[in-house]
Amino acid sequence: MFAVQTDVLKPGTTEEFLRYMFPANNSAWLTALTICVRVRILQYREMTPFFSYAYSDRADNALLMFQFRSHLDYYINDLKVSSGLNVRVDDFLGLWHLSCILVEHPSYKVYIDGELIKEGFLEGPNTDIPLNGTLYIGQDQDRFNGGTDREQTLSGYAAQVNLWNYAVDERTMKDMAACRVNPRGNVLSSDRDQFEQPGVTSEIVPLQTFCTEEPKFVIVPLIRQVSGARTFCSLVDSLFFIPEDEKTNNRLHEETNMFTEVCDFKSYRRLLLAGTDEEQEGAWINMNTRKPLNFTPWSDGEPNNGKNDNCVVLRNDMPRWGDLSCEYSNCFSCGMTGKDYFSVRGLCKPFDHQIRFIMDGYVNTRPYFRGYYGMAIFNVGEGTWVFKDTMANLTLATMTMEQPEEYPLGRTVWDVLEPFCDFAVGDKLSLGLSSCTIEEFMCSDGSCVPRNVRCNLREDCVDGSDENDCGIVLFSGRYASHRPPPGRTYREVLYILPHVHLVRFSKIDDINLAFYMEFEVHLTWTDRNLKFKNIKEEEDKNKLSTEEVASIWTPEIEFLNVNDGLLKKLKSNVYASQTGDPVSPDFNDIMMETIFEPVNASLVTKTFYSASFSCNFYLFKYPFDTQVCSLLIKLDSADTTVVTFTNDSVVYSGLLTLPKYDVKDIVSELSERTGYAVMEVKFALERRWSLLVLTIFIPTILLLGIGYVTLFIQLAAIQVRSIMTLTTLLVLYTLFNQVSSDLPDTAYIKMIDMWFFFCIFLIFSVIVLHVIVEYLPPGDEDNFLGKNISRVSPLGPNPVQVWFTGMWLMKATRVVIYPSILLIFNLVFWVSIFNLE
């Protein structure tokens, strides 16, 4: 095994590499080949080369394989075969992987860890490669036997470099990857042939080393209880550690010896371990996996305190364990695998792979954090931490913790010492260090909560930081709040969607021709000059602050038919509403906000009003009338060449049956008046006439009946007849006057007026009849037969006297005239009521 540039805190160099030079006069050619190398990457560069074979400056990429983040690239005979194929491979640190290229013209295959990940066909007549060139391990040859670049080097280990002049079978590939066999290449083998290795160290290890991941841990010399230890480890994407075999236990104890000054402060305890029997006394389990501990090297007499001590501690004098109360505090260790990493946000990296960090080893007896691409964060004493670019050998920023023993986890503020990204010397740099994924929100202390709980009006972070800085609007540099934003393009009209929610009718005033109502107007528009953050699916949770509302443009409306200025604005708010998906999260964003572009969000004003509006009541058919009223809303911000209404809607949530009216046919329509957009909300108020029939028509009909009854009173009782009809007439007039007082004054005659006029006229006619009858001969049935006429006139019977006697006139009126007039008028009246428009 060869160690190639394993000092990750130093810049890359072109002076450390592995090289094998074939004889320049070698006449052998590879017509088929298999080349394999096992690599363990410790740090990524601009590119991480595995091997590079060149036999001339024109063929500097005769064979080349390198890793670029999570993508594998390879060349065969100067042809980039992987171009556009997007071959994805493992992109973690510290893991061994076996990479092979197999060529057998015209086909090729690529194996990673024994698995075929890509195969295809090569262009050209052949793929013969001469064996008179130079093979580099851990460097890329930009020209034959030279032209190396320190940004294109392998920071890690290489082993089992083998070259065959034939295609190795798939079974052998799988056995090699699983460490079951270790075949040597018949052309070249690092286990057999001598490589040049300037600046490189080598060692021999068992074959199973490449297939067994040794437990990794870092001791944290920080005094914490068990709960605090678990929290700390989780922030750096690791687990509170406990060894599971004797070798790891001894290694852990030996490593603790460098922290005796901090950790050996009480009794025999040195290091807390992730073991407990809290769930069941005597059944010791791993706190992380909840599985039983198969390895428990208890010290003599331990565990010894029963239910009082439920946690495990590593002794300071020997690699043995004891039990203690979980309330005690001590140093602890964090264990991690090769696939564990956390992120440092707040930088300007183009790829999220470049912000990955791991906790790895110690600097100045403190654990330090190093990035996948040469960045490092470590302590330099007295609570001061530095952020360094080891590739450029520059200290970029520094910060000092308020408590010297603490670590820069979560969000911290640094002083910039070197210009980088968009930061200048002296600037403040905010960095966020935690294991939160891009789908989570990082609290100030580094803990993680789901991203969708950010600014949801509840404190989900322990420190409440998820509810800090919860503004919704992101302003551009040249935002103008005094003018409407552009439409879909900068030359188009801005469309505003009006929606009116009629809440209730509080009063309908027939006298003043007005109605009183409470309603809410919603205006929705898209502001192309704004972005939004952290808006929820529930619109009511996206309320803009007073300061934000004052800083943005909002549409203005005017009500054209307000009655006597009676308009009150009871409440007004502005909300943001989702109309699409947020943009892909910015992995560099320390606040980890959810950002919405203008096309995926809109603004909504919701204003609640109480107002009185004029309505042109047409009462000709009262009380069987239906009134059509409207609410006129004018968009007053600008004319229709700049802003206009579209997609109007209206809804009514109040009672459809009011005390005097039924609400029907609520609609809305858009129009234009004097160059401005207007929305008209129309509705019909159908009068409920049942009570009016009971209080107007039935009483008048009864009064007419009383007038009719007086026709049956004896002719001699003139006083009775006159008093009854006169009283009926007075009552009719009083009722008429009362009904008229409940209606507005109109210049036109209403049907109800005609009804009362007819009733009064009919009673008046009855009174006149009674007077006339009083001056006519009374007559009787004999009079109608022409008998006893001499009593009327001595001259004998007169035809006029016969037909115009009082009795005859009364009988004719009560039997024919009165009922006929009443019937005819009623027919005409009611037909007119229900058919007249």
> What CATH number is given to the structural domain containing 72?
2.60.120.200
DSSP secondary-structure letter at 146? B
Is residue 134 domain-shared with residue 229, that is, in the same domain? Answer: no
Q: Is residue 428 part of a domain?
A: yes
Q: Is residue 711 part of a domain?
A: yes
For residues 781 and 429, the model is more confident at 429
Is residue 683 domain-shared with residue 741, that is, in the same domain? Answer: no
CATH number of the domain residue 744 falls in? 1.20.58.390
What average pLDDT does range 638-646 have in this prediction?
93
pTM of the predicted model, to two decimals? 0.78
The whole-angstrom separation of Cα 616 and Cα 618 is 6
Total residues found in the chain within this entry: 837
pLDDT, residue 593, reads 87
Instruction: With cut-offs at 50, 70 and 90, classify the pLDDT of residue 83.
Output: low
Domain boundary among 275, 304, 336: 336
Is residue 70 domain-shared with residue 34, that is, in the same domain? Answer: yes
CATH number of the domain residue 284 falls in? 3.10.100.10
Beta bridge partners, 331, equal 271
Share of the chain above pLDDT 90, in %: 58
Instruction: Report how far apart, in Å, the C-alpha atoms of 84 and of each of 48, 51, 340 are.
Output: 19, 21, 29
What average pLDDT does range 569-583 have in this prediction?
93
Q: Which burial class, exposed, middle or buried, applies to 251 when counting CB atoms under 10 A from its CB (0-12, 13-18, 19+)? A: middle
For residues 755 and 163, the model is more confident at 163
Q: Is residue 159 part of a domain?
A: yes
The whole-angstrom separation of Cα 721 and Cα 769 is 10
Is residue 200 domain-shared with residue 223, that is, in the same domain? Answer: no
Tokens encoding 523: 């205006």
Instruction: With cut-offs at 50, 70 and 90, classify the pLDDT of residue 71.
Output: confident
Quick check: 541 pLDDT over 80?
yes
Across all residues in the chain, what is the average pLDDT? 88
Domain boundary among 618, 653, 687: 687
What is the CB-side half-sphere exposure of residue 253 using CA atoms within 13 A?
Answer: 16
Quick check: 174 pLDDT over 90?
yes
What average pLDDT does range 367-372 have in this prediction?
95
What average pLDDT does range 636-663 have in this prediction?
92
Is residue 555 domain-shared with residue 670, that is, in the same domain? Answer: yes
pLDDT, residue 662, reads 92
What average pLDDT does range 212-239 have in this prediction?
94
The whole-angstrom separation of Cα 368 and Cα 359 is 6
Quick check: 831 pLDDT over 80?
no
Is residue 168 domain-shared with residue 250, that is, in the same domain? Answer: no
Can the peptide bond before residue 623 be classed as cis, meaning omega within 30 degrees of 0? Answer: yes
Is residue 254 domain-shared with residue 381, that is, in the same domain? Answer: no
Q: Is residue 813 part of a domain?
A: yes
Among 251-265, 379-393, 448-462, 754-768, the range scoring the smallest mean pLDDT is 754-768
CA 752 vs. chain centroid, Å, equals 61
Share of the chain above pLDDT 70, in %: 95
Q: How many structural domains compose the chain? A: 5
pLDDT, residue 596, reads 93
Quick check: 352 pLDDT over 50?
yes
Q: Is residue 469 part of a domain?
A: no
pLDDT, residue 780, reads 55
Instruction: With cut-offs at 50, 70 and 90, classify the pLDDT of residue 95.
Output: very high
Is residue 124 domain-shared with residue 229, that is, in the same domain? Answer: no
Can the peptide bond before residue 106 be classed as cis, meaning omega within 30 degrees of 0? Answer: yes
What average pLDDT does range 150-162 have in this prediction?
93
What average pLDDT does range 4-16 have in this prediction?
89
Q: Which domain holds residue 812?
A: 690-835
Which SS3 state, helix, strand or coil, does residue 343 take? strand
For residues 50 and 88, the model is more confident at 50
The whole-angstrom separation of Cα 274 and Cα 595 is 40
CATH number of the domain residue 579 falls in? 2.70.170.10
Is residue 542 domain-shared with residue 583, that is, in the same domain? Answer: yes
The whole-angstrom separation of Cα 783 and Cα 212 is 141
The whole-angstrom separation of Cα 433 and Cα 442 is 9
Quick check: 18 pLDDT over 80?
yes
Crossing angle between the packed helical segments 698-709 and 751-774, to the nearest 10 degrees: 10
CA 370 vs. chain centroid, Å, equals 34
Is residue 169 domain-shared with residue 228, that is, in the same domain? Answer: no
Is residue 272 domain-shared with residue 414, that is, in the same domain? Answer: no
The whole-angstrom separation of Cα 792 and Cα 448 is 120
Is residue 589 domain-shared with residue 520, that is, in the same domain? Answer: yes
Per-residue pLDDT tens digits for 484-502: 998 877 778 999 999 999 9
Per-residue pLDDT tens digits for 279-306: 899 899 999 999 999 999 999 989 988 8
Domain boundary among 165, 195, 211: 211
Q: Is residue 261 part of a domain?
A: yes
What is the CB-side half-sphere exposure of residue 779 using CA atoms within 13 A?
Answer: 25
Q: Is residue 521 part of a domain?
A: yes
pLDDT, residue 784, reads 40
Q: Is residue 14 part of a domain?
A: yes
The vertex-482 CA angle with 479 and 487, nearest 5°, equals 70
Per-residue pLDDT tens digits for 382-401: 899 999 999 999 999 999 99
The whole-angstrom separation of Cα 705 and Cα 698 is 10
Sign of CA dihedral 400, 405, 407, 410: negative
Tokens encoding 116: 């075929």
The whole-angstrom separation of Cα 40 and Cα 98 is 9
Instruction: Report how far apart, in Å, the C-alpha atoms of 424 and of each of 181, 359, 392, 428, 587 are.
Output: 56, 28, 17, 9, 22
